Amino acid sequence: MEYLFVLSDKGGWWLKIDSVKQLEDYHKKTDEARYEATLDRILHGEDPYELLEKAPDIKERIRLMEDPSFKFLQAAYLKAGQLNCSVLDGVRAFKIEAGMHELRLIKQSGAVYFNSSGGCTSDLSYTQFCRRKELIFPDFTEKDLRHVRYPNGGRHWYVFIGDMQVKDGMRSKWNTREEAERIAKKVLNAQ
């Protein structure tokens, strides 16, 4: 499967998914890593509200509230309470609900976009993109910059960052190396 990563005009890389097959593949490859810590907490009998009560200070409470596995544990407990079921059934119901939401976004908007933390949206504008064979989010550095001027009288400069050709709107070539590099650094800073 090929993956299309887009760089939001507001910053940050997102994986674009526009089919049920891609969505299924994404979840098969990410769910275990995303939910493993939460399932461990459930299997060890952790209760999110008890964890918050036992936190020695506000810093620990804030750290807990920012932890993705804690957030999911809390959501699973809430869902289990709403449905009057076990916490594991709450996890399952929460995942089904999230999946249905993602499918609705694809149907309504044509695509759903996931960030590297698993958050999703359907409202995203972008100009930069790269395609990859592996589900690995781009993380480019200045070391990944390449400037190309084609031989045999090539007059323009093209710039690549890793496996991505840099664009500025519809523009992908520049008259000077400096101009191309300035645009590339702007893209690097937007990650």
Asked if residue 1 belongs to a domain, the reply is no
Residue 184 domain-assigned (yes or no)? yes
Range of the domain at 177: 140-190
Cα–Cα distance list, 64 to 44, 58, 69, 75, 91 (Å): 17, 10, 9, 13, 19
Mean pLDDT of 66-70: 89
Q: Which two tokens stand for residue 30?
A: 């990410």
Helix (H, G, I), strand (E, B) or coil at 166: coil
Q: Whose CA is closest to 119, among 43, 41, 8, 40?
A: 8
Could you tell me if 117 and 23 lie in one domain? yes
pLDDT digits (tens, 9 = 90+) for 103-153: 999 999 999 999 998 889 998 999 899 999 999 999 999 999 998 888 777
Maximum C-alpha span of the chain: 73
Q: Is residue 135 part of a domain?
A: no
pLDDT higher than threshold 90 for residue 191: no
Provide the mean pLDDT of the chain: 92
Residues 6+ away with beta carbon under 8 Å from 56: none
Nearest partner of 122 among 108, 138, 140, 139, judged by Cα: 108
Query: Are 164 and 92 in the same domain?
Result: no
Give the per-residue pLDDT at 144.
Answer: 93
Would the pLDDT of 60 be above 90?
A: yes
Percent of all residues in the chain with a pLDDT value above 90, rounded to a whole number? 71
pLDDT digits (tens, 9 = 90+) for 28-46: 999 888 888 888 989 999 9
| Co-location of 46 and 107 in the same domain | yes
Whether the predicted pLDDT of 85 surpasses 90: yes
Q: Residue 31 is inside which H or E element, if any? A: helix 20-43
**Is the model's pLDDT at 61 over the cut of 90?**
yes
- Name the token pair of 106: 């694809």
69 within some domain: yes
Percent of the chain's residues with pLDDT above 70: 100
27 and 103 part of one domain: yes
For residues 23 and 106, the answer to whether their CB atoms sit within 8 Å is yes
Is residue 22 located within the same domain as residue 115? Answer: yes
103 within domain boundaries: yes
φ, ψ of residue 90 to 5 degrees: the values are -65, -40
Same domain, 36 and 116: yes
Query: Does the residue 82 lie in any domain?
Result: yes
Predicted confidence at residue 152, as pLDDT, reads 78
- Whether 96 and 171 share a structural domain: no
- Is 15:3 a contact under the CB 8 Å cutoff? yes
Q: Are residues 146 and 117 in the same domain?
A: no
Q: Are residues 117 and 145 in the same domain?
A: no
Which of 20-29, 145-154, 179-188 has the largest mean confidence? 20-29
Whether the Cβ atoms of residue 138 and residue 13 lie closer than 8 Å to each other: yes
Q: Domain total for the chain?
A: 2
| Domain limit, last residue, from 71, 88, 121 | 121
Domain membership of residue 29 (yes or no) is yes
Task: Decide if 95 is inside a domain.
Answer: yes
